[in-house]
Structure 1
C-alpha cells in the first residue's frame, strides 16, 4: 500500500532574471512541518554576461537554508556577513525581527560561464522566537553527519535523525536528509522520522507501494513512520519534515509570520526604509504589489 498522500509537481516561478522550480507552498499543502517554502534553483548554465543578482531584500519570522549542488553564491547581509557559499555547505540565516541580505554571483565568476544549482528553503520560527535577534551561521560541508548503508549514502543536512544531529542550529524539531543511491536499494527511515514528512526527487526514481515516481516530484507522506521505499541506482532524493506548529503561518513576499498584522508592519517598514542595511550593497528591491496582474 502506498504511503504517498499527495504528489506536488515542481512549478516554474520567475525571480526576475532567474527561473526556479517552486515546490512549497502549494495550494493543497502550505507547509510540511515547519518547512514553508522551497525553491529548486536550476540547474542553470549562465553565460559570461549572465549572473545571479538578487538585491537586498528583507526577511522576518523565518530561517533561510541555502544548499548548493553546483556553483557559488556571494551572501551579504545587514549583520555584516560577506561570504561565498559553495556546494555542500549550508548557509543558515535567522530572520527573526528583521534582516536584509543579497545573493549574487561572486565577483571572480561574473565574466565567466558558470553553473548554478541548489535548493533554497524557508523554515518558520516558533511563535515565541519570531521576533528573535537575527543571526547567521555558515556550516562547511565536512561538518555534516554522513553514513552509508547497502550502497546508499546519507547526509543529515539539518535537524535530528535517531542519535545524529546536524550542527545547523535549528529552532524546532525537524530533519532534512540527503540520500544518494549508487545501486538499487530499499531504504526505511520511518523509525527515525516524526511529524509531517515529504520526499523530493531531484534525480532518478523511487517506488512506493508499487507506484513509480520521478524527478521534480514532491511526495507528501501519509505517515512519516512508514517511510519505506525503493530507490533506483543514480537517484538523489531529499526527505524533510518535522513537527508542525499549532498556529498557521502567513506569507507575503519574503515575510513569514503567525500574525497578519505583523506582515503589514513589515511591509510598511520596508517601504519606509526602516530595515537595517547591508554594508557595501546599497541597492533596494521594491515591495511587490501582488494585486497587479
Structure 2
C-alpha cells in the first residue's frame, strides 16, 4: 500500500520581477511539521540587464533557510551581515522578534547573464521562541553531514537524522535531507524520520508501490516511519519534516505567528517604519494592501 497521502503540484507565484514555484502552504496542507512555507526559485535565467532585486523586507516568528542549486544571491540584513549566498551552503536566519533583509544579484554579476535556482524555506519557531533576538548563520557545504547508500548520495542539510546532526542551529526537532541517485536505487529512511514528513522531487522520477511521480511534485507521507521509495538514476529529492506544533501558525505576508494580534502589531510596525534598517540598502518594500489604523 502506498505511503503517499497527498500530492501537491508546484504552483506559480509572482514575486514582482521573479516567478517562483510555490509548494507550501497549500489549502489542504498548511504545514509539514514546522515547515510552513517553501518556494522553488527557478531555474530563472536572467540577461545582462536583468537582476534579482528583492528589497529590504521584514520577518517575525520564523527562521528562513536559503539553499541554492545554481547562481548567487547577495544577502544583507539589519544585523549588519553582508555576504554572498552560493550553491550548497546553508543560510539560516532567525527572524524572531523582527529582522529585515534584502536579496539581490551580487554587484560583480549585475552586467552579465546569470541563473538563479534554489529553495527558500520558512520554518516556524516554537511558541516560546517566537520573540527571540534575530540572528544569522552561514554554514558551508563541506560542514554538512553526508553518506551514501545503494548508489544514492545523501546530505543532511538541517536537523537530525539517526545519529547525525547538521550544524545549522534549528529550534525544534526537524530534518531536511538531500538525496541524489547516481543509479537506480532504493531509499529506506523511515527508521530515522519522525513527526510529519514530505518529499519534494526536484528532478527525475520516484516510484512508490508501482506509481510513478515526477519533478515539481511534493509528496506528503501518511506515516513518516515507513518511507521506502525507489529512485531512478539522475533523480534529486528533498525530504523534510519534523514534529508539528500544538498551536496553529498564522501567516500574513512575511510574518508568521501563533498570535493574530502579534501579526497586526507587525503590520503596523512595518507600515510606520519601526523595524530596524539594513545598513547600505535604503530601499523599502511596502506591505501589500494594508493601511495603518487612524
TM-score past 0.5 threshold:
yes
Residues of 2 paired with 1:46 and 1:90: CA distance? 23
Deviant stretches of 4+, over 4 Å: none
Residues of 1 paired with 2:140 and 2:22: CA distance? 26
Cα shift readout 1:26-70 (whole Å, capped 9, x = no counterpart): 000000000000000000111001100000000000000000000
3-state SS of the aligned residue for 1:263? helix
Cα shift readout 1:85-127 (whole Å, capped 9, x = no counterpart): 1000011000000000000000000000011100000000000
TM-score calculated relative to the size of structure 2: 0.98
Show the counterpart of 1:104: 104
3-state SS of the aligned residue for 1:274? coil
Residues of 2 paired with 1:161 and 1:112: CA distance? 40
Show the counterpart of 1:61: 61
Task: Quickly say closer, same or farther: Cα 1:32–1:290, change in 2 above 3 A.
Answer: farther
Cα shift readout 1:142-198 (whole Å, capped 9, x = no counterpart): 000000111100000000000000000000000000000000011100000000000
After TM superposition, list the pairs within 5 Å mapping 1:241-280 onto structure 2: 241-280=241-280
After TM superposition, list the pairs within 5 Å mapping 1:15-54 onto structure 2: 15-54=15-54
Show the counterpart of 2:164: 164
Cα shift readout 1:251-275 (whole Å, capped 9, x = no counterpart): 0000000000000000000000000
Show the counterpart of 1:285: 285
Residues of 1 paired with 2:150 and 2:247: CA distance? 40
Show the counterpart of 2:2: 2
TM-score calculated relative to the size of structure 1: 0.99
Residues of 1 paired with 2:188 and 2:148: CA distance? 13
Aligned-residue offset at 1:290: 7.7
Show the counterpart of 1:71: 71
Name stretches of at least 5 consecutive residues in structure 1 with no aligned partner: none
Name stretches of at least 5 consecutive residues in structure 2 with no aligned partner: none
Residues of 2 paired with 1:66 and 1:232: CA distance? 27
Aligned-residue offset at 1:209: 1.5
Show the counterpart of 1:182: 182
Task: Give the RMSD, CA atoms, in angstroms.
Answer: 0.8
